[in-house]
Structure 1
Amino acid sequence: MFLPHQIVGDQLNKQFDANVRTNFFRGMDFAGPVGDPGWFGPGSAVWHVHSHMPALVFGLQCAAFLERLDPSIYWMGVHHSRLVKPETKNNPMPEIDPQGFWARLGHSVAFFTGTAYGSTPTAERLALAVRSMHHTIKGTRPDGARYDADDPEWLRWNYATVVWGIATAHELYHPQPLRGKKLDRYYGEFVRVGHALGGTDLPATKQDTLDCLKSYLPRLAVTYGAAMATGPGLPIPLAALNWAVRDTMPSWAKGLIQHRDPNIVERTARRATVWSVINGWHAAAGPLPEFAEATARVADGIDPDLAPHTVPAYQPGSDPVRTRTELEDAFA
């Protein structure tokens, strides 16, 4: 007999397969070459954290909410992604495009799964695709301020929000979470991804990440996107998800959006409900296929010519210059 949270989990899994895995995991190699550990390899903290797909997806939503408190990132998303409807890209109050939402989520999940478990060539290809897209994201906000996705300050903020969102979701909702020094190991390993995307001076522990995020507070604001995704009046399913996302935010960020934590009893009950949904989805999905393929790839040992993991090969400034159209054709 299925419990309600198991039914929800099964529905979420079917929707994820139909909208994300089928469309965005194409062309990634997890099964070979035999003996290639990829960027992290077996036994790494990243392999453990990213093996729980629902917690990873939730963590990426937490990161997206936090990162768009930076007005420049908010307008980068409006102007250069499929997240909003084309006719509203210059509107201060753009409308979300449901297909665009799935496309953005799909690309993000594929990237953080592929760089975790994919072969070294797969991880390198994914990083090149994201860097190349970033090179094309330059423009002007409606208030006249310029933005550039290759700006080291932007890359650092974006990186910190992502690693914080994923790691915090893992702490709260993974059935076997890493904590303390073991979790700091995750932060330290994940820096490889940030470097592969061109980031510099990146935080490598939980505390360093918190300090990094807080240092950006003077330049942050409650953007339209953040305002419309929070507060009263949201449909019940969205309100529940929204609360869980805000619950993962640092205390100063909660203050920025005027979020107040409930008492400890209510907060524990709410987290238990979210835990049931996330892990119901995980139970319905079963073991992550990509993790299983990567495990089999190194089951007979790691290629003796390779280290326990490979290091991203990107050298800043070495990418060829390509147009957005050329990139979409190359990485379709």
Structure 2
Amino acid sequence: MLDALQELMRPPPGMAFDFSQPPGEPALAPADGVCWRVFANPVSLFIGGVAAVLLELAEPSVRAGVWEQGGFRRDPVLRLRRTGFAAMMTVYGPRSHAEQLIAQVVRMHDRVQGSTPDGRIYRANDPRLLDWVHATATFGFTEAYHRYVRALSPLDKDAAFAEGGPAARLYGALGAPSSWAAWEELLAATAPGLEGSGTLAEFMRIVAAAPLLPAPLRRLQHLLVRAAVDITPEPVRSLPQLRRHGLRFGEAALLRALARGAALLPLGDTPPVQAARRLAQKQTSHGEAACNSAAKKIK
């Protein structure tokens, strides 16, 4: 079961990448930070990613860009895995490769523009929309970890937003929240414009039915989707398309047991493990250099 979830953390077909190289190169996010812990849990990662998309689809301009030109309807599995790979690269990837990937995404977004059904013009690289997308992603992953894996302190939650700052600025989200309080301010300011839609209902159907997990685990997939609805903040959680789709009695405890169990098991050769190996090679290189220097002094 956990192997299937861990598979979602690995690069999708055609995007293979070895996170253990090059030796010693740091990531955009600090290795001793909160994000390295949060993104290493496959259960909360799935839940947080879905919650982020629910918030994004509630914003009319983001919804138009994501849904009409983002590939969700054509191939939801590939689209979600590519998004997951971008998140893995942003947190664990060597800085130089993360910067290259983000620059590529920015160039792609330059071509994404259009209008909402009510005639509002949007651009994917509009800083206002980028701020919302970045903020909802950080909220989703952080809150899912906090709710189902291990409680985070207020300082930890602030750190999760602050650690995402370098990547946010590279994407063009120059006003992205740098603390939990700033996220709550952005949510309050954006809330009046958030709305339900047929797209939101369609996404719920797609993410529940898409073969993200093997067929025997499809009931678990439904449970993870309901957990995402459960952590989605108001006013989105009460939208007609999400109402009564949250967790049922006793399911939160079951999810916590699953997520905490996942945190105790070996991760396999996933990006977090590879990235730790990459940084350990730096320490080894430094240790060897120190030994060589000491040997020369002895001679």
Tell me the TM-score normalized by structure 2.
0.79
Which residue, out of 218, 221, 243, partners 1:259? 243
Shift in alpha-carbon separation, 1:9–1:30, aligned structure 2, 3 A: closer
Structural RMSD (CA): 3.0
2-structure distance, mates of 1:302, 1:41: 19
Which residue, out of 64, 77, 85, partners 1:102? 77
Matches within 5 A, 1:61-100: 61-84=50-73, 97=74, 100=75
Shift in alpha-carbon separation, 1:146–1:262, aligned structure 2, 3 A: closer
Which residue, out of 140, 148, 157, partners 1:165? 140
Shift in alpha-carbon separation, 1:13–1:36, aligned structure 2, 3 A: closer
Which residue in the other structure is 1:35 paired with?
Answer: 24
**Pairs aligned (count):** 273
Matches within 5 A, 1:1-332: 8-13=1-6, 16=8, 21-23=11-13, 25-26=15-16, 28-84=17-73, 97=74, 100-174=75-149, 176-228=150-202, 237=219, 240-257=223-240, 259=243, 267=249, 269-278=250-259, 286-287=267-268, 289-299=270-280, 300-301=282-283
1:138 maps to a residue whose letter is Q
Aligned-pair CA distance for 1:127? 0.7
2:122 is paired with a residue whose SS is: strand
Tell me the TM-score normalized by structure 1.
0.72
**Structure 1 alignment gaps of length 5 or more:** 1-7, 85-96, 305-332
Aligned-pair CA distance for 1:286? 2.6
Aligned-pair CA distance for 1:288? 5.3
1:301 is paired with a residue whose SS is: helix
Whether the 8 Å CA contact 1:40–1:189 is kept in 2: the answer is yes
1:215 maps to a residue whose letter is A
Shift in alpha-carbon separation, 1:303–1:250, aligned structure 2, 3 A: farther
Shift in alpha-carbon separation, 1:162–1:13, aligned structure 2, 3 A: closer
- Report % sequence identity: 23
1-structure distance, mates of 2:124, 2:183: 20
Aligned-pair CA distance for 1:223? 1.6
Per-residue CA distance 1:219-241 (angstroms, 9 max, x = gap): 2210212234569xx88936533
Per-residue CA distance 1:71-129 (angstroms, 9 max, x = gap): 22222123212212xxxxxxxxxxxx4xx111111111111111111111211111112
1:247 maps to a residue whose letter is D
RCO comparison, higher one (Cα < 8 Å, 6+): 1
Of residues 203-212 and 291-300 in structure 1, the stretch that sits farther from structure 2 once superposed is 291-300
**Structure 2 alignment gaps of length 5 or more:** 210-217, 287-299
Shift in alpha-carbon separation, 1:189–1:171, aligned structure 2, 3 A: same
